[in-house]
Amino acid sequence: MTAPYLLPPTTSVAYPSSLPSGTVKLYADQNWSSDSLTITTSGAIEGVQSSFAGTNLNDRTTWVAFNLPEGVVLTLLEHKTTPPAGQPYSFNGCGRCVDLIGNGKTQTVDVEKLGANDCLSAYIWRTVDLNTGVFQLFDGLNYADNRNTFFLCEWPMATVLSLAGWYICDRAASIYFGGLTAQQVALYDGGQGDGETMSVAGWLSMDGIPDLRSYSFVDKEASWRWDLLPPVHSEVEPFTITSPVPTNPSSTISSSISGTNQGAATITDTVSVTSGKSQSLTLSVTDSYTIGYVQEVRFTYGIGLTGEVEVGCTFSMSYTYTGTKETSVTNYYDLSVSQTVEIPADCRYSSTMTILMAEIPPTSYSTPAVFYYTQPVPGSTYDAAMTAELGKTVYALRQTVTGYVNGGVSVDVRSSTETQPLSVTALADA
């Protein structure tokens, strides 16, 4: 299995013990007994740069030992800056960077081999989703020297992103993209997405380019953008959520009819309740940069001692970046229920129908899905049947769609009819 990123060079001597999770320890020299400084994720706000200038390790770090949970990244910076609004992980003006990517174990880094020895003075940490795509630019050939790691979950899609002011700007000599799947990354010689360009993608037969000179693109990376390869077709299995009908409905909707049957035979009448957009269902999908976003929600609800919400959903063929961890769609449904009631002869009558409404609390779900691509994205397989059906070569990628459902639906219908014989009414009037 291709590694999503390349590890920085480790120290020549293994760390003599293990560190607590969420801990980074900086050392001044090439030994574990030199001056040190301890940094913890609990001691700094996520997504905000923190400085350790003025400490005993300011501009003195040579070795690093760290233990970060999987998915947590702490980047050591040469300079503390104020990033642009909405881009906390823009390292414009930050100088050389050292990305510490957690895997739940104690790891080490030889900062000198990264060309960042005795220059670090700040840091920033955050939680990332490696499954959404990763690529790295390296200052040296063969994935050597200083580098920047780009986590696509931190950057808007289909947007040109400038590298102006980054240490790696116009310096990259190699690129690693083993962390891409259905994503494509374009690099530009110009700072506004202009000039010469080259592209890499997750479905290529290689996972990196150790020498960009072979593509005549060394020291030219001034801006970049990423795009998602849209699936040409998707199939998401409907799922059912079962829960007891609430004993205390949140609200009711009622309607009544009344009249007189002066005849000698039983008649029928109809009582109905109609309410526009009285039911709703919200389906939230955990964001994924491979499956696109939820476009439509459909559901049915069973009435009885047990309510069953059957949910179906479709996905768009492209992804719209929201900057959130999930995408939600709410659909509203009209409610219309009718019931025929029998009215005895020679009576006055009044019939009432009441629909009991209840809230569905946020309920998690998980359902299988298959997405079909025109390129062999990692993890996909050639699908002969769908190729024949669609008339083009496609590859099937099987994934699991997760999220939660909540809303308000009708859970029961109750009706009652009261009658009074006309003869009794007449006597009472007399």
For 430, which DSSP code? -
pLDDT at residue number 319: 46
pLDDT at residue number 317: 47
pLDDT at residue number 304: 45
Architecture of the structural domain at 233-429: Beta Complex (2.170)
What average pLDDT does the chain have?
88
pLDDT at residue number 289: 54
In tens, the pLDDT along 147-174 reads 999 999 899 888 999 999 999 999 999 9
pLDDT at residue number 326: 72
Asked which of 243-252, 302-311, 405-414 is least confident by mean pLDDT, the reply is: 302-311
- Average pLDDT, stretch 339-368? 88
Highest mean pLDDT among 22-31, 262-271, 288-297, 402-411: 22-31
**Does domain 23-228 correspond to CATH entry 2.60.20.10?**
yes
**CA 305, chain centre distance (Å):** 35
Question: Smallest Cα–Cα separation from 126: which of 46, 29, 13?
Answer: 46
CA angle 338, 344, 346 (to 5 degrees): 130
pLDDT at residue number 244: 60
In the chain, which residues fall in CATH 2.60.20.10? 23-228
pLDDT at residue number 424: 65
pLDDT at residue number 305: 42
| Rounded Cα gap, residues 5 and 14, in angstroms | 21
> What ranges make up the beta strands (E) of 287-392?
294-301, 306-315, 326-343, 347-373, 381-382
256 or 317, which is more confident = 256
pLDDT at residue number 40: 98
In tens, the pLDDT along 26-66 reads 999 999 999 999 999 999 999 999 999 999 999 999 999 99
The answer, yes or no, to whether residue 321 has pLDDT greater than 60, is no
How confident is residue 411, by pLDDT bands cut at 50, 70 and 90?
confident
In tens, the pLDDT along 85-137 reads 989 999 999 999 999 999 999 999 999 999 999 999 999 999 998 888 999 99
In the chain, which residues fall in CATH 2.170.15? 233-429
Cβ neighbours, 10 Å, residue 227: 17
pLDDT at residue number 235: 83
| Rounded Cα gap, residues 149 and 127, in angstroms | 14
In tens, the pLDDT along 224-277 reads 999 888 888 888 888 777 766 566 677 888 999 999 999 999 999 999 988 888
Is residue 359 within 8 A of residue 168, CB to CB? The reply is no
Q: How far is CA 30 from CA 94, 110, 117, 294, in A?
A: 24, 8, 11, 52
